[in-house]
A and B are shown apart, each in its own frame.
Chain A
Amino acid sequence: MFRIEGRFMQEMVAHSREKAPNECCGILAGPPGQVAALYRTVNASASPIRYSIDPKEILRIAQEIEGKDWEMTAFYHSHTHSEAYPSATDIRLAFWPDSLYLIVSLADLQQPCVRGFYLRGGQVTEEELETF
């Protein structure tokens, strides 16, 4: 169970809508297992089917949160036309075993869907999200 405040869920969906049809991406950070801040990042791939965060932006956020003893507990990105489930590319490029990968799906524009997964060694494990 991964607990996340509703305002962060809304922010991820809003970011996804703003960037559609391109994918958006961002970093969620906080004490271990928690989310205390959301950082929108630029999708350096600027694509409807790919996302990548500029390594320099990852480093900047990593350094900013280090002093607070926070971690990058989750990453998010959007799927503008497919379900909120990791694509083959997501699985192949998952290098953060301790961070949850959140996917926002806009496939149903009326009802955006957010799901979370741990991606480890090619394995997909869904983690239930609890919004509060």
Chain B
Amino acid sequence: MAVEVRVPSLLRGLVGGVKSIQTSGPTIGLALDDIEARFPGFKERVIDPNGAIKQFVSIFINGEDVRYIQSLDTPLLDGDQVSILPAVAGG
């Protein structure tokens, strides 16, 4: 099973500079664990110490924000496109 994760510029330094990485499910949470195993330090940039998606990060699967699906338990299917997007915000 192959899933493509689009990596924002903020995190590219952790993954050798590439714009996307291939991973697999069966859930988005386990996909992040897989990425973490290959690129240590990745997960803590996306997930807070309580295991929730960080406040200023959004994770989309095929354009849907996983916060409004099953969060990190959202299942991944072959060919899914995952985007990790930091906030654009300020004052």
A89 touches B88 (CB 8 A): no
A50-80 interface code vs B (CB 8 A; 1 in, 0 out): 1111011011101100000000000101000
User: Nearest Cβ in chain A — how far from B56, in angstroms?
Assistant: 6
Is A2 in the interface zone, CB < 8 Å from B? Answer: no
Q: Which of A32-51 contact B (CB under 8 A)?
A: 45, 49-51
Contact B88 A25 (CB under 8 A): yes
Q: Is the beta-carbon distance between B83 and A96 smaller than 8 angstroms?
A: no
Q: Are A58 and B10 in contact (CB under 8 A)?
A: no
A75 and B60 form a contact (CB under 8 A) = no
Are A50 and B91 touching (Cβ within 8 A)?
yes
Q: In angstroms, how far is the closest chain A Cβ from the Cβ of B87?
A: 6
Q: Does A94 contact B (CB under 8 A)?
A: yes
* Residue positions of A touching B, CB distance < 8 A: 23, 25, 27, 45, 49-53, 55-56, 58-60, 62-63, 75, 77, 86-90, 93-99, 101
B contact set with A: CB distance below 8 Å: 6, 8-10, 56, 58, 60, 63, 65, 83, 85-91
Cross-chain pairs A/B with CB under 8 angstroms, 16 sampled: A50-B89, A55-B85, A55-B87, A58-B85, A59-B58, A59-B83, A63-B63, A75-B88, A77-B90, A87-B91, A89-B90, A90-B90, A93-B56, A95-B86, A95-B88, A96-B86
